[in-house]
């Protein structure tokens, strides 16, 4: 194994039994970790995707309504997930661009976590507001959605006294073991995806409304993942900050 050890926070390459990936937009997962997802499902992990928004703001095309785009992006996300061997895709359908870190959203996310019962939960690093190279303001949906995911993971998902009405739905508390944070500036784990890079591009290309050109995206993503690969001496890698919370 070529993955870097991360002290006591995670094994060198951990294959989750059940992984739940919760992010704001259709295509966020494929950009950040399609290679890792393909590697996990091939190794036998049960993987569920949960998309918090409908992706309805992801186009400037004046002839495409928000409703049309939302439907299109749901189809694209299902196809991309299927290509990566993902078992379930959950769409919460919040309006793209309008996420706020509310208690209602927290309850909804706790419901999903208790239902799916993941040992490993993946979301984006919500502490990235603007990047260290001063070229990018992290999308408010990314910050608010993923902050709310973490608020749902701890303590609410694992504590019987939070959202007691969920007990009436048969949803018992569930404690997640590992939290993997995507798009972080402080990675602790680099996963070798060299053998999965083409599948990552295949999955990205299924988001056809967002990504028109394979060569262009391959170059862009390739540079990104090559840079991460350098950390562990492989061609391509995806990086995470990993927390072990139970
Ligand atoms: Zn996004």
* Dist. CA 94 → ligand 1 center (Å): 13
d(CA 220, CA 80): 19
* Dist. CA 27 → ligand 1 center (Å): 7
Helix (H) or strand (E) holding 187: none
Give the pLDDT score at 122: 98
* Dist. CA 30 → ligand 1 center (Å): 10
d(CA 168, CA 54): 28
Give the three-state DSSP class for 25. Answer: coil
Q: What DSSP string runs through 92-147?
A: EEEPTT-----HHHHHHHHHHHHHH--SEEEEE-TT-SB-TTS--BPPHHHHHHHH
Q: At what angle do helices 28-42 and 197-205 cross, to 10 degrees?
A: 130
* Dist. CA 49 → ligand 1 center (Å): 14
* Dist. CA 138 → ligand 1 center (Å): 9
From the number of C-beta atoms within 10 Å of its C-beta (0-12, 13-18, 19+), residue 67 rates as exposed
Asked whether the beta carbons of 34 and 84 are under 8 A apart, the reply is: yes
* Dist. CA 177 → ligand 1 center (Å): 25
Q: Residue ranges of the domains in the chain?
A: 18-132+143-244
Give the pLDDT score at 8: 45
Give the three-state DSSP class for 155. Answer: coil
* Dist. CA 22 → ligand 1 center (Å): 11
* Dist. CA 1 → ligand 1 center (Å): 31
* Dist. CA 154 → ligand 1 center (Å): 23
Class of domain 18-132+143-244: alpha beta
Distance of CA 52 to the CA centre of its chain: 10
d(CA 45, CA 119): 11
Look at phi and psi of residue 69 and say left if phi exceeds 0, alpha if psi is from -120 to 50, else beta.
Answer: alpha
* Dist. CA 208 → ligand 1 center (Å): 15
d(CA 33, CA 6): 18
Give the pLDDT score at 13: 72
* Dist. CA 52 → ligand 1 center (Å): 10
pLDDT in tens, the chain (246 residues): 446 545 444 556 789 999 999 999 999 999 999 999 999 999 999 999 999 999 999 988 999 999 999 999 999 999 999 999 999 999 999 999 999 999 999 999 999 999 999 999 999 999 999 988 999 999 999 999 999 999 999 999 999 999 999 999 999 999 999 999 999 999 999 999 999 999 999 999 999 999 989 999 999 999 999 999 999 999 999 999 999 999
């Amino acid at each position: 194994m070529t993955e870097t050890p991360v002290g006591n926070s995670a094994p060198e390459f951990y294959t989750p039994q059940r992984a739940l990936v919760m992010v704001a937009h259709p295509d966020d997962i494929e950009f950040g970790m399609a290679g890792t997802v393909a590697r996990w499902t091939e190794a036998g992990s049960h993987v569920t995707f949960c998309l918090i928004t409908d992706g309805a703001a992801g186009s400037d095309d004046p002839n495409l309504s928000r409703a049309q785009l939302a439907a299109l992006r749901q189809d694209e996300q299902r196809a991309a997930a299927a290509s990566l061997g993902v078992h379930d895709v959950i769409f919460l359908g919040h309006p793209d661009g309008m996420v706020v870190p509310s208690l209602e959203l927290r309850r909804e996310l706790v419901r999903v976590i208790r239902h799916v019962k993941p040992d490993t939960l993946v979301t984006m690093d919500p502490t990235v507001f603007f990047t260290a190279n001063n070229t990018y303001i992290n999308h408010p949906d990314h910050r608010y959605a993923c902050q709310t995911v973490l608020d749902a993971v701890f303590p609410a998902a694992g504590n019987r006294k939070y959202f007691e009405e969920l007990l009436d739905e048969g949803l018992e508390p569930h404690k997640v073991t590992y939290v993997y944070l995507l798009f972080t500036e402080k990675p602790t784990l680099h996963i070798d995806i060299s053998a999965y890079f083409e599948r990552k591009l295949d999955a990205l290309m299924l988001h056809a409304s967002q990504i028109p050109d394979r060569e262009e995206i391959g170059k862009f993503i390739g540079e990104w993942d090559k840079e991460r690969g350098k950390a562990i001496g492989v061609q391509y890698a995806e990086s995470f900050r990993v927390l072990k919370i139970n």
